[in-house]
Every structure is written in C-alpha cells, then in structure tokens.
Amino acid sequence: MKKLFLFSILTFLLIGCSPTINQPLFSKSNNPKELIKSKYGEPSSVMLTNDGREIWEFDFRSPIKSNRTVIFDGNNSILENKKHYKVFHMVTGLNKSGYIFIGLLFGFYFINGPIKPIG
C-alpha cells in the first residue's frame, strides 16, 4: 500500500506540474527582455523589422541545448518564444514528454525495485 501511495504521489507531481512548462511566464513580466536575458544570456543576433518587431535569436553551440527565437513587438511584449530542437532531441525523441516518461520509469523503479521474473 505504501508503494502504491508513493507511486501515486510521484505520478501526480510529474504529470500535474508538467503543464506549467507551457505557460507564458515571460510575457507576464514587467520587463520581459531582462528576464529573457537572465534566463538565456545575451542573444546571438538581434534584428529589427520595418513594422517595429525585434527578433532575438539564441544560437547555442552545445549539441544538446536547443536554439531559441524570441520576437518582441513595439511595446516590448513577447509575441513568440519558440524553441528549435537540435539533432540530439530529434534523434532520441527526448522532448518534454520523453523526460517526464523517463522520470516516471525511474520513480517506479526506485519505489518498487527491479521487476522479478515470472515463474
């Protein structure tokens, strides 16, 4: 019973907290540009468009860390915050859902131990 309870709590925490990843937390900030800089560092390139938009591109040299494009409007509000997955993520298929599933498997293993063979 204790193992089932621990597994239920672990599952609830992993699945219940995962939607917070997609919430637009940066757009609710008073100064989203400073928040983006504190999170991702200085952008690799900044482009200004004719309609007043500012496009920041983050080109990370790491083969695992994904690149990112952030588009601001003229009022410094975030219009788009898009992640561009690297080859590592595309080959392994490990995105947010993959990491959550692996976390559930490890949690199940640590709670129940190794699965015993039948027979």
pLDDT tens for 60-89 read 777 667 788 888 888 888 888 887 766 655
Q: Which amino acid is at 58?
A: F
> What are the structural domain ranges in the chain?
2-14+30-112
- Give burial (CB, 10 Å; 0-12/13-18/19+) of 70: buried
Second CATH level (architecture) for the domain 2-14+30-112: 2-Layer Sandwich (3.30)
- Please determine, for residue 100, whether its predicted confidence score (pLDDT) is greater than 60: yes
Tell me the residue length of the chain.
Answer: 119
Stated as kind and residue range, the H or E segment containing 43 is none
pTM > 0.85: yes or no: no
Interstrand relation of 54-58 and 78-84 (parallel, antiparallel or unpaired): unpaired
From the list 75, 73, 78, the residue with the least C-alpha distance to 28 is 78
Measured on CA atoms in the order 60, 63, 65, 66, is the torsion positive or negative? Answer: positive
